[in-house]
Amino acid sequence: MTPMLGIMASSISGSKAVTSSYESIATTTVGSGGTSTITFSSIPATFKHLQIRILARSNYAVQLQDYLKLRYNSDSGANYAVHNLLGDGTSATSFDSTSTTSNWIQRISAAGATASAFGGAVVDILDYANTNKYKTMRNLGGVDNNGSGRIYLTSGLWQSTSAITSITITPGDGTSFDQYSSFALYGIKG
């Protein structure tokens, strides 16, 4: 039996075939006072894909939600593109952006949201070590919007053939992640 990999498989429990396909690389939990940046560095090239599991909240005070910026190998050039689909139970909206300076992860709770509410996301980065193609990512995330939920499906492109050796995550509009925000990087065997 071939294991199902990626976002869908990460939600399945009790399957030895699925759980043995993932290997923990690094986990970070934000401490007291928050932090402005999460960095995974020295990522080994020994896996087929990467997955990041996120449970986070930002200090952005203007809105109920914030998004996350994802950069590879410290590349802050306009070498990224994103597509986003949002559903809130009533309507669906979408947008895209090309030539951006980061991929976007949708969405986490911000300072204006319900106290102690965190947004969750699972990000798959496909063929991250392949030096013959651009890198793609997909993200499924959800957030409470003060009683009404929202779910996001995002895809992104990094226009580089370089192998990904480091990943940096920062709040999109806020300046830091709140205490207890958690980020876990996994390697997916292929």
- Measured between alpha carbons, how far is residue 22 from residues 45, 48, 70, 186 in Å? 14, 10, 21, 6
Q: Which of these, 161, 159, 177, lies nearest to 169 by C-alpha position?
A: 177
Q: What does the pLDDT look like over 69-90, one tens digit per residue?
A: 999 999 999 999 999 999 988 9
pLDDT at residue 9 in the model = 55
Q: Which value, to the nearest 10 degrees, does the dihedral of the CA atoms of residues 170, 155, 107, 176 take?
A: 0
Total residue count of the chain as it appears in this document: 190
pLDDT at residue 5 in the model = 52
pLDDT at residue 75 in the model = 98
Domain boundaries, the chain: 38-188
- Find residue 39's DSSP bridge partners: 168
Reported pTM: 0.89
Identify the burial level of 144 via C-beta atoms within 10 angstroms of its C-beta, where 0-12 means exposed, 13-18 middle and 19 or more buried. middle
- Find residue 52's DSSP bridge partners: 123, 185
Give the span between the Cα atoms of 181 and 66, in whole angstroms: 13
The two most distant CA atoms of the chain are separated, in Å, by 49
Average pLDDT by consecutive 10-residue portion of the chain (190 residues)? Answer: 50 56 97 98 98 97 93 98 93 95 94 90 98 98 84 97 98 97 96
Angle among Cα 124, 125, 126 to the nearest 5 degrees reads 110
Structure tokens at 142: 């959800």
